[in-house]
Amino acid sequence: MYKLRPILKTYYDSLEDGKVLGMKCTDCGDVVWPPLPTCQKCGGYNLDWYDMGDEAVIDEIRYEDSSVGGDYTFRKANDYFVDKSPYCICVGHFPRGTEQFHAALYGVTEENKDELISQLPLKAKVKFIQLDGGFKSVGFEIKK
């Protein structure tokens, strides 16, 4: 039987406690982040909460000149971020995860981007992003 339980609330609550949760399928072992109640690999619904750890591997860095404004359709998606510090987009994966993801990545600048890109893949710490709606989301930050 499908277990009716809070997925989103559990996830966002745990971010407040400094923990990034994914879900692991007990049938096939696939790990999904962010968490979903249905296994993306086998379609089963027997998934348990799974600690993703506090570090990810960054595979690609998509540096964007933040002075480039975009028009009303295409623009940065940090409308609700409390801290408007510049960031770029990365493709990464959790060492304990299955799939690559897109995420916000802090710590990349015009000055260090070429060096960082030449060092890929790189480790990055989870960075909790404060949203003005009173909750957090997950980004990453390159270790100094």
Partner 1 sequence: MKQQFTRPVSVVGTSTLGQRYFDDPEYEGLSIYELWACACHQAMDDAGVKPKDIDKIVYSQFANFVTAGNAMAMVGSLEEWAGVAGKPITHIEQACASGYIAFTEACNAVASGKADIVLCAGVETPKHFNARNQPAYMIQPISKYDGWWSPGRVLFDTTYYRFDGVSDNLLTEEQGKYYQKHYGISEETLDETYNAMAVNLRRNASRNPRACERKEYTEIAKENGYDDVMDYMRSDHNPKITQYIRKSGSVLHNVAAGAIIVCSEEMAKKLNKKAVTVIDHASSSNTQRHPYCFHQMNVDVRDALYKNQPDLKGDDLDLMVTTVMTSGEQLDSAEVFGYLPEGKGYQYELDGRTCFDGDTPINPHGGDLSFGHAFGAAGINMISEAILQMRGEAGGCQVPKPVNTCLVRGMGGGHTTVGILLENQQ
- Contacts with Zn ion by CB under 5 A lie at 25, 27-28, 30, 39, 41-42, 44
Collapsing DSSP states into helix, strand and coil, what is residue 1? Answer: coil
35-64: contacts with partner 1 (CB under 8 A) = 60, 62-64
The token pair that represents 51 in the structure block: 């600690």
Buried b / exposed e over 126-140, threshold 16 CB at 10 Å, is bbebeeeeebbbbbb
**Residue 14 touches which of Zn ion, partner 1, none (Cβ within 5-8 Å per kind):** none
- Using CA atoms, how far residue 79 sits from 50, 56, 57, 71, 127, in Å, is 30, 25, 26, 14, 17
DSSP string over 81-110: BS-----EEEEEE-TT-SS-EEEEEES--T
* Binding piece for partner 1, criterion CB under 8 A, among 20-28, 42-50, 66-74, 108-116: 66-74
The token pair that represents 76 in the structure block: 């940065």
Site membership for partner 1, residue 101 (CB under 8 A): yes
Kindly tell me which residue out of 80, 95, 113, 119 binds partner 1, with binding defined by CB under 8 A: 80
**Residue 63 touches which of partner 1, Zn ion, none (Cβ within 5-8 Å per kind):** partner 1
Site membership for partner 1, residue 137 (CB under 8 A): yes
Q: Which residues bind partner 1 (CB under 8 A)?
A: 8, 34, 60, 62-65, 68-81, 87, 89, 91, 99-104, 129, 131, 135, 137-139
